[in-house]
Structures are given as structure tokens and as C-alpha cells.
Amino acid sequence: MKTAGNLLLLAAGLAIVQPALSQVSVYVDFSASKLTGNSAAYPAAGQLTNVLYGPTVGVTKSLVGGHHLFLAADIRGTFTGGSGQRMDGVVVGPRVAIPVKKFAPYIEGMVGFARYNDGRNTSVSSTTDAQIQINSGIDYQVSKQFDWRAFEYGYEQFYGIGGNFNPKTFSTGIVYHIGGR
């Protein structure tokens, strides 16, 4: 009875995964985010600038594609920190890529939420609020299943702490296409 149940579960899993194999990609990037802004919570601090480092992970699902243009949905999480500060966020949005030979330049617009903590452990030292991002970059095809994210630049508007922070993020990483292209 256990064997039949396990085989049924395996068959159901394969039926769900099989159609999406060539349409899903996962990626892991190393990100450096320049966090610059005026601190509304601490006016005496004036202009604040720090660089936060950490991983960006995500999943991209192809929606429509052809030879010259691809439209996909992207969901990502960025987890950066440094100098006692942390900025972690999750965003989702559409992505457009235009492949040219082994290069695939792309642009995406994303919305979501981020949590900022300045490390001071006071009631106004952390906030969770909305954010928007515009990311653009270039992926380079290394093999049928792997791309190297040669470069990505992201501009962000974080609406926490008076909306004063606009992180600018640079990333590089690896993209894995489940099932190949």
C-alpha cells in the first residue's frame, strides 16, 4: 500500500513538473546595494550612505517567447546588510528580454515590500514598507542550461522612513534553466 501511494505521488509530481521544465529558470546573484538618502528619523545624521552586500535569489517563468523577444514573470528576494544595517525585500513583476546571439539584455519593472533596519534597536529603527524597482542587465549564455548574469543594475524607491531611500544595486550571478532552453 505504501509503495502504491509513493508511486502515485511520484507520478503526480512528474505530471506537474514536466510541462514547465523548459519555461522556468532560477538564479542566484551577489548584490552590492548603495543605500543613499536623508534620514527623516534622524535629521542630525544628515545624508546617509552605506553599501550593503548579500544574495539575490529568484525564479523566472517564461510567459510568451519567440526568436527575438521574450516576456516572463520574475519573483525575487534580496537580502543585503552591512555596517549594522539590513535591507531585505521581495518583489514581483514582468521581464522583457531581447536575445542577440549569446547575449540576452533585459529590463523589468517590479513591485513588492522591503524591510529596513538601521541596527539601532529603537522603535523607529526599522520599518516594512512598499518598494518599486526597475532592473536591467545582460545575461550571457554559457551552455544550454546555464547563463552568467554578467551585469545587472537596479534602481529602487523604498517608501519606508519617509520615502527617503533610493538604493542603487549592482549584481552578478548564475542563471540555471530547468530542463534547458
Residue at 17 is within a domain: no
Tell me the whole-structure pTM to 2 decimals. Answer: 0.79
| 5 part of a folded domain | no
Q: How far apart are CA 70 and CA 61, in angstroms?
A: 10
In tens digits, the chain (181 residues) has pLDDT values of 455 555 445 444 444 433 333 489 999 999 999 987 655 554 444 456 789 999 999 999 999 877 788 999 999 999 999 888 899 999 999 999 999 999 999 999 999 999 988 877 665 667 889 999 999 999 999 999 999 999 999 999 988 877 777 889 999 999 999 976 6
CATH number of the domain bearing residue 135:
2.40.160.20
15 occurs within a structural domain: no
The answer as to whether 172 is a domain residue is yes
Burial of 139 (0-12, 13-18, 19+ CB in 10 A): buried
Flag whether 150 is in a domain.
yes
Give the residue among 103, 162, 161, 157 at the shortest CA–CA distance from 135.
157
Q: What are the grid coordinates assigned to 15, written together? A: 505530471
Q: Which domain holds residue 86?
A: 22-177
Per the domain annotation, does 81 fall within a domain? Answer: yes
Q: How far is CA 58 from CA 3, 32, 61, 101, in A?
A: 35, 16, 10, 24
Whether 53 contacts 20, CB under 8 Å? no
How many structural domains is the chain composed of? 1
